[in-house]
Chain A
Amino acid sequence: MIEQKVVAPEYLFNEAEREEQFITGSEAVREAIRRANVDMAISYPITPQSESMHLVGDIYAEGYIKEYFRGENEFAVMSSVAGAAMGGVRVFTATGGPGTLRAFEAFPTWAGARLPVVCAFMTRGINSPLSIQPDTLEMAYMLDTGIIMLHAENSQDLYDMILQAFMIAEKPEVHIPVGVFVDGFFVTHTRDRVKIAPPDIKLPPYNPYSAPVPVMDMENPPIRQMRDPFVMKSNFISYAAHASWQQEILAAAERSRRHIAHYLGSLLEAENENAQVMIVASGTAVSQSREAIESARQEGLDVGLVKLKSLRPFPTEELKAVTANAKAVIVPEFNRVGWLAREVRAALEAKVKVVGGPRVFGGMTMPPDLILDEIRRCANE
């Protein structure tokens, strides 16, 4: 283990001289966690996530993390990281696909208990018939769990977003979980050039008393208290308490906007935003869109690109602004249901034509030609 010194997050993210390494997405997770000053990580195997948590285990063995074990299933793992977070520490775990659904009940309880857990989701198909292949379907289910959702396009994003996620999640005015989503296999199992900070620096430690609820350590006055909203009674005060608590979770996510903007630069990135045809995408669908746009420009077609980095909170106002001149918006996705197209349609309020597709699923890669076909259709209408 290399001796590490604590540095300001801004220094680690923006100023420290970075070294370029040719590594997989899973290795990018390891390098992020190595610098994240994590207290505890808990693992459970599922393809395509497993390798990333093996590598996190390796750096635990080297001494970078204080505690690490393999849990018995994803619901148990998400519950154990919740217990650790209640005890006032920084925790990390990762899952994907069926694992996300197995653990599903835990995610709203994380948000409800104001736990700043950071979890990576290496997305894959949801079973029946059994599939381990890339697919972003699970993200549709996660949209309303109360957690902040960032979507990485590539390994560089994955490395950066995991580190930034801790800082966003732990702000006292936010203090809710952050999920960093990445398309399984396409990113986790491929090598890419990733610029990473030196290994001898790390983030400042978590301050347990940044929590807006009492830390569960019996080091606070023993008022008659409970960590979770008082829901088990049928009276107006209980209803009101639960309703206002839910609103407060939403408000916490709203308050995260300025912190996401501070650390990630913005909630979305736009290129050629005055174009008449815009592609709006997240994850690796952005990379495929870049290819399609390159071909379209060679044909003389005017097309722009919006990369959504934050899905919760959703950058509604920013998206409206960068698509203000568009007559059509194309939303390519790696899933069958088109959850992103639904989000985009709701945000743009039917003021612009939203083309939901192309969509590929079941593990296929998205041929840029499919996107190019949509660009041609929209440009010629």
Chain B
Amino acid sequence: MSVKIIRPTAAFADLLPAEYLELAANGPYASPKTINDLGNFKEIIEEHPHCAGCGVALGVRLTAASLPAPADTLIVGTAGCSFFGLAQAALNYSCSAFGNQNAVASGLKRMLKIRYPDTHKDVVVLVGDGGIADIGLDLTLHSWFRREKIATIMVDNEVYGNTGGQESGMTQEGQVLNMAPKGKNFAKIPVFELAQVSGCVYCARVTVASPKKIGQVVRKAILLAREVGPTYVQIYTPCPTNFKFPPQQTINIAKKAEEGHYSFREFISDEAQAYWEKNFSSSA
């Protein structure tokens, strides 16, 4: 997108909402911003109706602030908590049916590649654990098998939050939740490992307690998806509402998880590593 498109005509500027003017003047479109710039620019997502202390809201905000090219980024979502903030994003966002995000993104990415052969249009899937690991697992895996050039990002709160706290495939074993009244009786679905063997050229696992790491891995995942192949990022986004901890504890819980089941993990294929070193190593 040319920045010219968003620059208001002077004669009409006073008719536009102040928020739009601020986005045009100080948004992330003209020059890319990073996590380090938060607080000093107009973000593409700033308001949301999530619960206090929501890890998903933070994960979505940090991801949005890490996009290497927001002016040419399209986000495909699905139903669930992740939808709430994204629906108000100042970029093209779509959500159609539950779990079909990677199929929608496949069609979208292929056609944008044909319509704009000389511009990188980054198609990013940003959805929750239920959307990827349960209802959309087959469509997610098939998009990876087909080597669709999409970055898939899971905000993993280990629960169906929006529908009222039900067990998901990403819930930890033993956890008692709605629809798991005796505790979940199988382990978290190994989506990270599935991504590795299904064609993803880059995978990373992080938590919202490490914003700078989110900034790095999201950027890397999107840049590698442009040229090399599908990529996957899994972000732990704890849910105070359904796990019943005080909202100010979200970061602490994520930090603690980094020492346990959510330690930092990264995988990169040889091809992706070579591409990264050749093109981006100085900025990595």
Contact = CB atoms under 8 A, between A and B. Distances in A.
Please indicate whether A and B come from the same complex rather than being unrelated chains: yes
Interface in A301-326: none
Contacts of A218: 1, 71-74, 91-92, 121
A82 B104 contact: yes
B111 interface: yes
B197 interface: no
A85 B139 CA distance: 18
B108 A216 contact: yes
A374 interface: no
Nearest to A73: B138
B74 A216 contact: yes
A88 B74 CA distance: 13
A377 interface: no
A87 B44 contact: no
B73 A87 contact: no
A39 B115 CA distance: 10
Contacts of B103: 71-72, 75-77, 79-80, 83
B114 interface: yes
Contacts of A42: 107
A227 B97 contact: no
B111 A88 contact: yes
Interface string B92-110: 1111110010011111111
B87 interface: yes
A68 B104 CA distance: 15
B74 A109 contact: no
Contacts of A72: 103, 138-139, 142
A220 B5 CA distance: 7
Interface string B123-138: 0000000000000001
Interface string B143-180: 00010000000000000001000000000000000000
Nearest to A80: B107
Interface residues of B, number: 49
Nearest to B142: A72
Given A76-B139, A218-B92, A66 B114 contact: yes
A228 B111 contact: no
Question: Which applies to chain A's interface (DSSP): helix, strand, loop or mixed?
Answer: loop
B112 interface: yes
A80 B104 contact: yes
B110 A76 contact: no
Contacts of B6: 221-222
Interface of B: 1, 5-6, 19-20, 23, 27, 29, 44, 49, 71-74, 76, 79, 83-84, 87-97, 100, 103-112, 114-116, 121, 138-139, 142, 146, 162
Given A79-B139, A222-B90, 19 more contacts: A72-B142, A76-B100, A77-B103, A79-B104, A80-B104, A82-B96, A82-B100, A86-B107, A87-B112, A89-B114, A214-B92, A218-B72, A218-B91, A221-B5, A223-B20, A225-B90, A225-B93, A228-B95, A232-B87
28 contacts: A40-B110, A40-B111, A77-B103, A80-B104, A80-B107, A83-B106, A85-B107, A86-B94, A86-B107, A86-B108, A87-B112, A88-B111, A106-B96, A106-B100, A208-B115, A214-B92, A216-B94, A218-B73, A221-B5, A221-B6, A221-B20, A222-B44, A224-B19, A224-B89, A226-B88, A227-B93, A232-B87, A233-B49
